[in-house]
Amino acid sequence: MDPMARQRVLIVGASSGLGRALAEQYAGKNCDLALVSRDARDLAAIRADLSWRFRVDVRDYACDITDRSRQPALREWLKSLGSVRYACLVAGGTFEGPGNIPDEGAIQKSMDLNYFAIVSLMNGLVSSSFPETILVVSSIAVTAPRGANLAYTAAKTALDTYAQSLRHFIAVRKMNTKIQILRLGYMDSIFTRGLNLRFPVAQAAEVARYLWRIRDTKEGVFYYPGYWWLICAVLQSIPWFLYRRLRF
Ligand SMILES: NC(=O)c1ccc[n+]([C@@H]2O[C@H](COP(=O)([O-])OP(=O)(O)OC[C@H]3O[C@@H](n4cnc5c(N)ncnc54)[C@H](OP(=O)(O)O)[C@@H]3O)[C@@H](O)[C@H]2O)c1
pLDDT tens digits, 136-194: 999 999 998 888 899 999 999 999 999 999 999 999 999 989 999 999 999 998 878 77
Atom 18, ligand 1: residue with shortest CA distance: 17
- The count of residues in the chain is 248
HSE-up (13 A, CA, CB side) for residue 109: 12
Q: Is the pLDDT of residue 27 over 80?
A: yes
Residue 124 lies in a domain: yes
Q: What is the overall mean pLDDT for the chain?
A: 94
Residues 235, 244: Cα–Cα separation, whole Å: 11
- Cα separation, 105 vs 226, in Å, equals 34
User: Per the domain annotation, does 45 fall within a domain?
Assistant: yes
Query: Ligand 1: which of 41, 71, 189, 210 to mutate, judged by most atoms within 8 Å of the beta carbon?
Result: 189
pTM of the predicted structure, to 2 decimals: 0.96
Q: Is residue 69 part of a domain?
A: yes
Please work out whether the CB of residue 18 comes within 6 Å of at least one atom of ligand 1: yes
66 pLDDT more than 70: yes
Measure the CA–CA gap between 163 and 23, rounded to whole angstroms: 23
CATH number at residue 61: 3.40.50.720
Average pLDDT, integer, range 62-75: 96
Domain count, the chain: 1
Give the Å distance between the CA of 174 and the centre of ligand 1.
Answer: 32
Instruction: Give me the pLDDT at residue 134, please.
Output: 97
70 lines ligand 1 (CB under 6 A): no
Residue 53 is part of which domain span? 8-243
In a domain, 177, yes or no: yes
| 63 in any annotated domain | yes
Q: Is residue 248 part of a domain?
A: no
Residue 3 lies in a domain: no
Q: Does residue 76 lie within any of the structural domains? A: yes
CA 242–ligand 1 middle distance (angstroms)? 33
